[in-house]
Amino acid sequence: MKNIIIVLFLFVTFFSKLYAVECIPRTLIEKYGQSDFVAKVKIKKYNTKDEDLVFKMVAVEVEIEVLELFKGKTLNTFKLYTESSMNGVYTSDNSTWLIFANYNDEEKLYHYECSGSIQLTISENEVRNDNAQRIEERNKLKLDVLRFLKENKIEYNNKHFLLPKYIEPCQGKLDLSNLKERFAIYKIKLCKNWTVSEIERLKEFDKKEVTDYFYNCIKDNMYFKNLEKSIEINKDSFNIILIYYYYPINEYNSDEEFISFQDL
């Protein structure tokens, strides 16, 4: 069901590089797990409301249409605050976006520059550079993954910010030809020392050779690491979700097909 909601964007504009924000890259599953609200939306219209000359803040009222809700509550109206121009999300009527946002301490939906929202509408520049089809395919893959996570009620809670690492590179060359499934999802049970103890296959690639390869690679070679070594795990074990993505030839500026746990 489509919903029309009014959003108030409050963004902060800084004229000095001193206040520039550097965003830490996050995967799709990380953004999904760390967000309170995830949705595909269409920007209907926007109106600038108020400007604070002291703090360089501008309030923009935006009317959006929720095309598909992946996570969060369905609301009629709410206020969305952001510390930046949201990379231009409010500047184009009828553009479509994949929005990630969180609630702050005042229970107001909050968006900022590093929330990771993605413009789904193809720009004229991307069309001129013949990148439109590639970008559409990659965006479709992201949306398909989000639909699968929602439909199967898969939750992701990596509060320790663990990163997958390999003891040594997995050996062997895979034949990825005629691979139809674009992603595979594994639920991994980790021991207290962050090593893999159990693997549950939530979704697999459609070739047994490829499926077995990554299952064994996770089982025999993977462990998880956190940059903050002082963090201690109180539980004896906990789960984490890992997603592998398949990219055909030329979809990501490559003349070879490949599989990665980074969504590109």
Among 172, 164, 242, which residue's Cα sits nearest to residue 204?
Answer: 242
Between residues 69 and 108, the one the model is more confident about: 69
Between residues 118 and 107, the one the model is more confident about: 118
The predicted model scores a pTM of 0.81
Among 164, 249, 258, 255, which residue's Cα sits nearest to residue 210?
Answer: 258
Query: Which two structure tokens, joined as six digits, stand for 241?
Result: 């979700």
> In the block, which residue shows the tokens 């199967």?
152
Per-residue pLDDT band for 60 (boundaries 50, 70, 90) equals low
Among 77, 53, 82, which residue's Cα sits nearest to residue 64?
Answer: 77
Region of 174 please: left (phi>0), alpha (psi -120 to 50) or beta. Answer: beta
Q: Give 119-154 pLDDT, tens digit per residue.
A: 888 776 666 566 778 888 889 999 999 999 999 999
Residue 55 has pLDDT above 60, yes or no: no
What distances in angstroms separate CA 244 from CA 55, 66, 222, 237, one per listed residue? 43, 28, 14, 23
Per-residue pLDDT band for 233 (boundaries 50, 70, 90) equals low
Determine contact, residues 123/70, Cβ cutoff 8 Å.
Answer: no
The per-residue pLDDT for 105 is 75
Rg of the chain (C-alpha set): 20
Query: Which two structure tokens, joined as six digits, stand for 205?
Result: 């690639």
Tell me, letter by letter, the H, E, C secondary structure of 35-47: CCEEEEEEEEEEE
Determine contact, residues 209/175, Cβ cutoff 8 Å.
Answer: yes
Determine contact, residues 82/23, Cβ cutoff 8 Å.
Answer: no
Q: What single letter denotes the amino acid at residue 14?
A: F
Distance CA 184, CA 112 (A): 30
Q: Give 15-37 pLDDT, tens digit per residue.
A: 333 344 577 788 899 999 989 99
Distance CA 79, CA 137 (A): 32
The per-residue pLDDT for 98 is 92
The per-residue pLDDT for 31 is 92
